[in-house]
Each structure stands twice: as structure tokens, then as C-alpha cells.
Structure 1
Amino acid sequence: MERNPAMAMPRIILIMLIFNTLLAVGGIGFSFTLYQSVQQLTQVGPAEAGTGGPAGDVEAEKGEYQFQPVDKLIVSLAEAGREHYIVFDLVLQAGLETEKKKLEQIDPMVRNSAVAHFTGMKFQELRGQSIAQLQAGLEKAVLGDFGSRNLLVPFEHVLISKMVVQ
């Protein structure tokens, strides 16, 4: 049986066409998945990128909040030879489902905890901390006071919204 070289050429071209088509479709699929993963990283942010999970989980964790102000707290600070003080405003961050009345009712407790926390600090110690450190320490103190009195905490975070240290 003889092979006809003219018949072999269209088969080779057909095989090459199919191979190139499969390669192109694979490249498009790979590019699309790479694009989606980059989109997820930009939505999640670099700090949370290593935590894993689909983007839907990240969006499910996000929520809307309400904020309750706790205005004008003034505390004297201990320092040898000179009087110093701190004036600050706080904001309580709570979920939308939290009743506004509950947040208003705990205002005196939050004030008491914040004043007690800052009263124990020295002026230089206070000046040496960043806002993030002050806020973290204050939040820990407030939550600790609520826990020691067996009170429910209707808020999630305590934020320092204004501060003057003199």
C-alpha cells in the first residue's frame, strides 16, 4: 500500500490547527483564573491575602456599623513639677442591629473606664505611644471593666476620634 504525500499534508495541518486551538483556549483559561485571583487579592488587601477563602467569604464578613460618640473626656496626668491633661472624644463602633438606647446607656461606664485608664498614666508615657497603641490599651481596659462587672458589651470597638495632650 502506497502512501500519498498529498493526503498526509492536510492531516498534519488539521492536527496543528486542533493543537493550536487547544493551546489558545488553555491560555485564555489560565489568564482568566490568574486575573480572578489578582482581583481577589486587591479586594481582600495585602494584609489579609494569606488567610485564604473565596472572595464571597470576605464580603460576608464585612458589615455596616453605627457609631455612638462619647464626647469631651478630660483627665489630669501625673508629672513632677507641672500639671498636664488630656482631652479626648471617643466613638463606640457597634453593629447596625444594636439598639441605640443600649449604646447611650453605657456612656457613663465607658467614661469611667476611660478616665480610670488614662489617670494611671504619666504624661511622658502617654506622649510616647502612638494612637493605635493608646486605642488598643483603652479598648482592652474598657472591655476588661465590662467583663469584671459581668456586663454585656453592645459595641465592637472603642475608637479615639479626637485627642489633645497638654
Structure 2
Amino acid sequence: MNIKTLILNFILMLVAAAIAAVLVTGGTQYLESTGEDGEKSALFTSQTAEAKKHLQFVEIKNLVITLKSNSVKERYLLLDLALTTHDDTQSQRAENLLPKIKGIAVDVLTSMDYSEVRGMSVMELRALMMERYQSAFHNISVTIPFDDVTISKMVFQ
């Protein structure tokens, strides 16, 4: 092997190593840098920092609902719900409409039999409630004040 080829290969390896080191250092600094609002930079996301949404929740605690039952015993369902919103305006609208939101939940569930509700998964119950919320708000020509409902507690008695 020629000495010139050996020296040229060695120089190319050094240049490649230097470029790799610069890219690793620069990439690390970019990923660790924070924006003006304190958030990490979004190198691998398709959203800009302005387009990111911050989730907020409006909680409905201790919603007690009487269920139909074939037995002599009365059956109850205790629910804690969290309404998912994306901004303060939407959260305020959800809070202002809490009586209607609670009423829809009660209407949906009091018409159902205990064994029917007991046999549903949380996801099925959540989907049913969202469907009824959307339908009820559409019927009164009001936009639904939240994006999703989460069942955070479900206790049968």
C-alpha cells in the first residue's frame, strides 16, 4: 500500500470524525435548548410551539346516579368525570354548563339497567356518554364545551 494512500485515508477518517463530533455536539445542544416559553424545542414533532395545545380538565366529582334494578335493593353508581378542554375559554364554558352536563349524564344512566351498565367496559360507557353529549348539545344548538370525557372513578353499590 502506498504511503500517500495511507495518509489520505487517515486524513479522511479524521475529517469524518470531526464532522460527526460537531454534529453530535450541535444536535445535543439543539435538543436541550429551551424556547422562550420554557418548552423543549420540537425537532421531531410536526407541530410548532404555538400550535401545541395544553390539556385542562374540569372535574365533576361524586355524581351519584340511581340505576334501574330487578332486585328489591336500589342500585347506585358513583362517578367522577373529567372533561378535557384545551384553553381557559373552553374550560370556563364547561364550568358554566356543568348543570346541563351533569343532567345529560344522569339522563343517560338512569334509563339503563344496573346489569347493563355493570356489563359495560369503561371505554364503552365513555363512548356512550360522549355520543349522548354530542347529540344533546347539537339538539340545543350549542357547541360542546369540551373535547372528551374521562371516567376517573366508577363505583357500583
**Shorter chain as normaliser: what TM range?**
0.5 to 0.7
- 2:6 matched to 1:16? no
Q: 1:71 to 1:19 in 2, by over 3 A?
A: closer
Identity of aligned residues (%): 25
Choose from 88, 92, 116 the match for 2:107: 116
Choose from 143, 149, 155 the match for 2:146: 155
Query: Given residue 98 of structure 2, which amino acid in structure 1 is its aligned partner?
Result: D
Alignment of 1:127-146 (within 5 A): 127-146=118-137
Q: What is the alpha-carbon distance in structure 2 between the residues aligned to residue 162 and residue 20 of structure 1?
A: 61
Alignment of 1:5-154 (within 5 A): 9-21=2-14, 24=17, 28=20, 54-57=44-47, 62-82=52-72, 83-98=74-89, 101-154=92-145
Per-residue deviation at 1:147? 1.3
Question: What SS does the aligned partner of 1:63 have?
Answer: coil
Q: 1:137 to 1:17 in 2, by over 3 A?
A: same
Q: CA RMSD in A?
A: 3.3
Per-residue deviation at 1:76? 1.9
Structure 1: segments with no counterpart, 5+ residues: 1-7, 40-52
Q: Does structure 1 retain, via aligned residues, the 8 Å contact 2:67–2:112? A: yes
Q: 1:140 to 1:61 in 2, by over 3 A?
A: farther
Question: What SS does the aligned partner of 2:61 have?
Answer: strand
Q: Does structure 1 retain, via aligned residues, the 8 Å contact 2:133–2:144? A: no
Per-residue deviation at 1:165? 0.9
Q: Does structure 2 retain, via aligned residues, the 8 Å contact 1:67–1:92? A: yes
The structure whose residues are more often helix, as a share, is: 1
Q: 1:134 to 1:62 in 2, by over 3 A?
A: farther
Q: 1:118 to 1:61 in 2, by over 3 A?
A: farther
Structure 2: segments with no counterpart, 5+ residues: 32-42
Q: Does structure 2 retain, via aligned residues, the 8 Å contact 1:90–1:159? A: yes
Per-residue deviation at 1:55? 1.9
Q: How many aligned positions are there?
A: 140
Q: 1:23 to 1:68 in 2, by over 3 A?
A: closer
